[in-house]
Structure 1
């Protein structure tokens, strides 16, 4: 009958024994050498490598994340620095260009003061594209007081004359165009002729008499007799004198003082030059 009682109450009795054992372990503690500590030690032994590996992977992932974030920041900073460097270079180029333009304009103003006449500076914004006509386009026109027939100069010498205007632009016929002509003379010998352009490029001094003493290297200047250019403006120098062949005149080639392809600003004389009689009176 006793065994029957124990069997019927086996669950309750087992639970009671386990509860008493648990209370005993809690009250007395578990020592490293106790049997109760052995399962926990075995469990720790099993999970320790797994925990270490997980910790290593976690640290590695954190390191990779930090490195990636740092690389992104470095890339963004490099991009910002490249943009800033490009802006600085652009500003430097603009400042350098402004300095060049100011220097050119200052030289033109000095030329204006030396001539003692009314004049206007203008920017060159284009040139004729074909190989026959040689002209320039200026960013100033009738609204600025310009009109056809006005003389156009550069710091180096004579450029040409205005042949057409619109309210905000003008066309300049260069002295090396085959339709151009101005009165000039040899500054050394006073031999006169007509400075004209050639169809196949170049500038010559037409109608220079064979009896005249004209030599390579002589300076050609404006005479003032054409009513467009003041007297004494530099046209160019004699590059070649050809005396052979028939005819009354020399073959005189002129090297223009101005490089027309390099022009950026020019000076337009807005009033006609004084008459030679007036100059003589002065």
Structure 2
């Protein structure tokens, strides 16, 4: 029986020979491919099979990159949105302030124009707040005794009469609006020249009282100050007639009016200087002075003679 060695002990070509063979084969393939491009078709065929595998291998890294870019973009967009929102609010506030300042400047120009139109003098004041009494129509302005404000001075805006100074403090003053129940203004109807007195009702309206039922008064008539009280200069708009009720059961007509000026709207007013006293004729002035001297206790006393100097 012929004995053969087990397969495990079979010996093939030497390792060095195999290495030399494969190195020579690789060099030959490199030279042939570089010179004749013979393996290009094989390379493209292999790439068709390896490309999906490469794409699948790059998916996790690509997913992480996309997720990182997404969150970075979202954070950047949120930051930009917050900045834009903040900028929009700032610009909106600036725009509102500029509009308010522009409107305030326009009202101040109109108030200053009152001096030229009506030939009066005064000083501009700002309304600080309303009086604490809920049943009164009074406001507090930022002018007081230090600004030489006295009780009784009329207060106007760029349209007409607003009220009258009733109380004065060192730094502020109280102005009673013409819509207050305790306020009355002598007026004159522009259309007919009829004179009367308008009273406040305390609810933002006025009432023209003591007008007969057959008085020539129409809705829309404008009432101006008559100047007979010696406080309000003549010719300032006061109110406009809005409703007339003629009831025969009453002696006088019930006439409701709306103030022309921004009585409860604007924040800037003008306090007019007090009206100068009316100059009387010389004869009448001497007669009044004589009566005052006669009735005065000091007028009955004899004047002491000063001793003459030697």
Aligned to 1:94: 97
Q: Would the aligned equivalents of 2:204 and 2:258 in 1 still touch at CA under 8 Å? A: no
Q: CA deviation at 1:168?
A: 3.6
Mapped pair 1:240 → 2:243: yes
Aligned to 1:158: 161
Q: Would the aligned equivalents of 1:179 and 1:197 in 2 still touch at CA under 8 Å? A: yes
Q: CA deviation at 1:197?
A: 1.2
Distance 1:93 1:140 in 2: 27
Cα distance change on mapping 1:259 and 1:78 into 2, 3 Å: same
Distance 1:143 1:274 in 2: 21
After superposition, the C-alpha distances for 1:102-160 in whole angstroms (9 at most, x for unaligned) are 11111111012222222111222323466521112223333333232111111221111
Q: Pick one of 60, 83, 102 that aligns with 2:63.
A: 60
Q: Pick one of 2, 14, 23 that aligns with 1:29.
A: 23
Q: Would the aligned equivalents of 1:182 and 1:195 in 2 still touch at CA under 8 Å? A: yes
Q: Would the aligned equivalents of 1:228 and 1:273 in 2 still touch at CA under 8 Å? A: yes
After superposition, the C-alpha distances for 1:227-264 in whole angstroms (9 at most, x for unaligned) are 22101111112333444345654433222212423222
Distance 1:212 1:187 in 2: 14
Any idea what SS the aligned residue of 2:264 has?
Answer: helix
Cα distance change on mapping 1:50 and 1:233 into 2, 3 Å: same
Aligned to 1:273: 275
Distance 1:68 1:171 in 2: 62
Cα distance change on mapping 1:136 and 1:30 into 2, 3 Å: farther
Bigger shift: residues 225-234 or 139-148: 139-148
Cα distance change on mapping 1:24 and 1:135 into 2, 3 Å: same
Aligned to 1:204: 207
Any idea what SS the aligned residue of 1:262 has?
Answer: coil
Distance 2:252 2:94 in 1: 56
Any idea what SS the aligned residue of 1:163 has?
Answer: strand
Cα distance change on mapping 1:247 and 1:60 into 2, 3 Å: closer
Mapped pair 1:144 → 2:147: yes
Q: Pick one of 212, 221, 238 that aligns with 2:224.
A: 221
Q: What are the ranges of 5 or more consecutive residues in structure 2 without an aligned counterpart?
A: 1-13, 27-50, 281-310
Any idea what SS the aligned residue of 1:148 has?
Answer: coil
Q: Would the aligned equivalents of 1:192 and 1:208 in 2 still touch at CA under 8 Å? A: no
Q: CA deviation at 1:78?
A: 1.7
Q: Pick one of 65, 82, 87 that aligns with 1:84.
A: 87
Q: CA deviation at 1:21?
A: 5.0
Aligned to 1:184: 187
Aligned to 2:266: 263
RMSD (Å) for aligned C-alpha atoms = 3.3
Distance 1:98 1:89 in 2: 14
Q: What are the ranges of 5 or more consecutive residues in structure 1 without an aligned counterpart?
A: 1-19, 33-47
